[in-house]
Amino acid sequence: MNADFTAAELAFQEEVRQFLAAEFPAEYRAKIDASKRLSKDEIIRWQKILYAKGWAAPTWPEEFGGTGWTQIQQHIFAMEMGLIGAPEPVPFGMKMVAPVIMAYGSDEQKQRFLPDILQSNVWWCQGYSEPNAGSDLASLKTTAVRDGDEYIVNGAKTWNTYGQYADWIFCLVRTDNTVKKQEGISFMLIDMKSPGITLKPIVLLDGHPEVNEVFFDDVRVPAENLIGEENKGWTYAKLLLTHERSNIAGVPRGKRRLAALKRIAGDTDDGFGGNMLDNPSFKIKLANIEIELSALEYSELRTLAALSVGKAPGPESSILKIVGTELAQEMDELFLELAAYQSLPFVPEQFEDGFQGTPLGTGTSAAAALTYFNNRKLSIFGGSNEIQRNIICKHVLGL
């Protein structure tokens, strides 16, 4: 038993580090350290830098222009990216719809859609959840009715992340009402410019319209945009969910945020002449987070080692999702604790591009509460942590 990288893997790690040091724009890093979001254009520019290097699609096989990396290489790449805060590929195209197209799409669909995803020419978004179909996704009601060479789509999707940026949406739609709910669902690709699609932004607790409701009113979709067979969409969707959960543990990001917590604690006056890094109870909390992060990292590595020898991803990903998201939320609590009174201003505009005023707070303190509120989503989305526990109960414990 060992957890060492081989000489070749270490050389690869060094190559990634050198590339990121040279190519990840310094101004992006500064924005991320200041708790600001990268703009759509900035994210695309970074993706195109990765594409130029041949690293745009770390998880794709070579035949589609991916890196063809091993699981370990993917892990190293994600770690090095996460440690400096470099954004991962926009997941909706690269990690969600692309694997489905590769596995179940026609050759024509592969040629039509995959190159634009690889080159970040097209921004995708997700049309899964509905107002009454959240954890119980299979009860979705948006319908697609065949009409000649087209489908006519009607209904509403929700929790659609960054639909305002998107050119295309992949949707689960109901094509048969007469069978068991999982068996009447189809997987469909829809151009967001289609007449009849409207977007309604949803402002979240941090003041940011990160998600949308998407309404479909007699939207005509060419039948050629159906993936695979009609009424087989649920099977395809399940494949997508396993990909959505890769890197869900968020260990690299956790390490970067833990380092930030320690730095900020050292700079935060405790009110009695010392700093918060020396505060006994805060110190213990930081230690416990670091210990949990270590347990999480080694759980992820064990999963990785199993995948490397060809085992299919199993319910382990549920452990990583639960622990990773809850640990991230605990770190949010500590950022909030450090910011104290300086977390009270509600000034989301301060973290937007083009802000001209005098910023409030020390460093990123005025972002602490916003992040704490926003990250409550982590234990809700991507299969809520309750659903993840159900998976463990059913598939591991046999309950």
Partner 1 sequence: MDFSYTEEQLMLQDSVQKFVQKSYAFDKRNEIIASEAGYSKEYWQLFAELGWLTVPFTEADGGFGGSAVDLIVMMDEFGRANLVEPFIPTAILGGGLISALASASQKAESLGKLMEGSLQLACAYAETSSRYNLASVGTSARVDGDAVVINGGKIAVLNGANADQLLVVVRESGAKIDREGISVFLIDGNADGIQKQVYTTVDGKKAAELSFDSVSVPASCRLGVAGAALPALEAVMDRAIVATSAEAVGALEVLLQKTVEYSKTRKQFGSAIGTFQALQHRMADMFIECQLARSIVIMAAMKLDSSAGAIEKTKAVSAAKSRVGRAIEKVGQESIQIHGGIAMTEELDVGHLFKRVTALGILFGNSDYHSERFATL
- Candidates 86-94, 188-196, 293-301, 354-362 — which segment interacts with partner 1 by CB under 8 A? 354-362
Which phi and psi angles does 248 have, rounded to 5°? -70, -20
Environment class of 281 (CB within 10 Å of its CB; exposed 0-12, middle 13-18, buried 19+):
exposed
- Candidates 108-116, 127-135, 145-153, 239-247 — which segment interacts with partner 1 by CB under 8 A? 127-135
Minimal distance, residue 136 CB to partner 1, in Å: 4
281 binds partner 1 (CB under 8 A): yes
59 binds partner 1 (CB under 8 A): no
Distance separating alpha carbons of residues 303 and 189, to the nearest angstrom: 32
183 binds partner 1 (CB under 8 A): no
- Candidates 26-34, 87-95, 114-122, 356-364 — which segment interacts with partner 1 by CB under 8 A? 356-364
DSSP class per residue in 62-129:
GGGT-----HHHHHHHHHHHHHHTPPPPPHIIIIIIHHHHHHHS-HHHHHHHHHHHHTT-S-EEEE--
Minimal distance, residue 165 CB to partner 1, in Å: 20
Distance separating alpha carbons of residues 86 and 96, to the nearest angstrom: 20
* Residues 88 to 117 in contact with partner 1, rule: CB under 8 A: none
129 binds partner 1 (CB under 8 A): yes
Q: Encode 298-335: b = buried (16+ Cβ within 10 Å), e = exposed.
A: ebbeebbeebeeeeeeeebbbbbbbbbbebbbebbebb
67 binds partner 1 (CB under 8 A): no
Which phi and psi angles does 269 have, rounded to 5°? -65, 135
Binding partner 1 (rule: CB under 8 A), the pick from 20, 79, 204, 258 is 204
Q: How many residues of this chain interact with partner 1, rule: CB under 8 A?
A: 50
- Candidates 182-190, 222-230, 236-244, 333-341 — which segment interacts with partner 1 by CB under 8 A? 333-341
* Residues 216 to 275 in contact with partner 1, rule: CB under 8 A: 268-273
349 binds partner 1 (CB under 8 A): no
End-to-end C-alpha distance for the chain, whole angstroms: 32
Distance separating alpha carbons of residues 154 and 151, to the nearest angstrom: 10
Binding partner 1 (rule: CB under 8 A), the pick from 30, 287, 295, 360 is 360
For the record, the structure tokens of 11 come out as: 């050389």
- Which residue in the block uniquely carries the two structure tokens 């009409």? 147
Binding partner 1 (rule: CB under 8 A), the pick from 341, 354, 356, 398 is 341
| Site map 372..391 versus partner 1, x via CB under 8 A | xxx-xx-xxx--xxx--x--
Nearest CA to 157 among 147, 176, 145, 144?
A: 144
Q: How many residues does the chain have?
A: 399
DSSP state of 243: H
136 binds partner 1 (CB under 8 A): yes
- Candidates 162-170, 183-191, 253-261, 341-349 — which segment interacts with partner 1 by CB under 8 A? 341-349
Instruction: Give the interface with partner 1 as residue ranges (CB under 8 A).
Output: 129, 132, 134-136, 139, 158-159, 202-205, 207, 268-273, 281-282, 329, 333, 336-337, 340-347, 358, 360, 362, 369-370, 372-374, 376-377, 379-381, 384-386, 389
